[in-house]
Structure 1
């Protein structure tokens, strides 16, 4: 399925912010889609991000879900704003198996101060088979970079 792309300047702002995240770089995550109110991240399944049974660890799964939602919110904020997570909840539905996991953050409501996102994480096999492995919801706060 093809999703609408965000404007080039929004994609560049999201990518620039993402590249400053040490954890995402450490995990090996990358952005695969930036659209208005929607961001997809991919995390390759490597031994460094797995748990004892070989599945992608819940901590890594949760981290990419959190970042996908945060960047989805950022796509709708003015340029001078930034984003921080206030809270999020993840339900782990199935073991995160596959060649990689894909986290999708989708804005449900973008407010003046708080934004709420839906979070989904899929285990993806090389065949293209996708399994929903986690779902959640997140609340984020919009920050004015000039006031910090």
Structure 2
């Protein structure tokens, strides 16, 4: 990826107030693959103390969407058309890691997946799988 393509992903991610609220950060940007990490903060826990499924879904959706965006021209953005999640295990740990990947890039539709892991120390457990469709749209001026 070119520096301009990488900067576009970082700039777009920085503009997402939801990701800022969750304390999420981009930790890897490469063609067709994005990694987002977020701490499991006190304000993102569910009633039993695990990370909330909303946190899991939010970073998984963003990782999948940005993975799609890495395959598209600079004058394009993406929106989620549909995405599903399978929650496999409670989000026990200190942080969540979402790895978004492109299954099938396209000009009209991009099929994507994301795996979300809960991490404690060096230990990671797969807690969710997402699969969805992203729709390329023209970039808009802010």
TM-score (norm 2): 0.95
Q: Counterpart of 1:120?
A: 115
C-alpha distance in structure 1 between counterparts of 2:34 and 2:114, whole Å: 10
Once the 2 structures are TM-superposed, how far is the Cα of residue 76 of structure 1 from its aligned partner?
0.7
Q: Counterpart of 2:36?
A: 41
Secondary structure of 1:101's aligned partner: strand
Once the 2 structures are TM-superposed, how far is the Cα of residue 53 of structure 1 from its aligned partner?
1.1
Which consecutive unaligned segments of at least 5 residues does structure 1 have?
Answer: 1-5
Q: Counterpart of 1:140?
A: 134
Once the 2 structures are TM-superposed, how far is the Cα of residue 8 of structure 1 from its aligned partner?
2.0
C-alpha distance in structure 2 between counterparts of 1:69 and 1:45, whole Å: 20
Q: Counterpart of 2:125?
A: 131
| Correspondence 1:80 to 2:75 | yes
C-alpha distance in structure 2 between counterparts of 1:45 and 1:7, whole Å: 32
Once the 2 structures are TM-superposed, how far is the Cα of residue 46 of structure 1 from its aligned partner?
1.1
1:102 to 97, 102, 115: 97
Which consecutive unaligned segments of at least 5 residues does structure 2 have?
Answer: none
Aligned structure 1 segments of 4 or more residues deviating by more than 2 angstroms: none
Once the 2 structures are TM-superposed, how far is the Cα of residue 141 of structure 1 from its aligned partner?
0.2
Once the 2 structures are TM-superposed, how far is the Cα of residue 25 of structure 1 from its aligned partner?
0.6
TM-score (norm 1): 0.92
C-alpha distance in structure 2 between counterparts of 1:7 and 1:63, whole Å: 27
Alignment of 1:10-29 (within 5 A): 10-29=5-24
Once the 2 structures are TM-superposed, how far is the Cα of residue 80 of structure 1 from its aligned partner?
0.4
RMSD of aligned alpha carbons:
0.9
Q: Counterpart of 1:3?
A: none
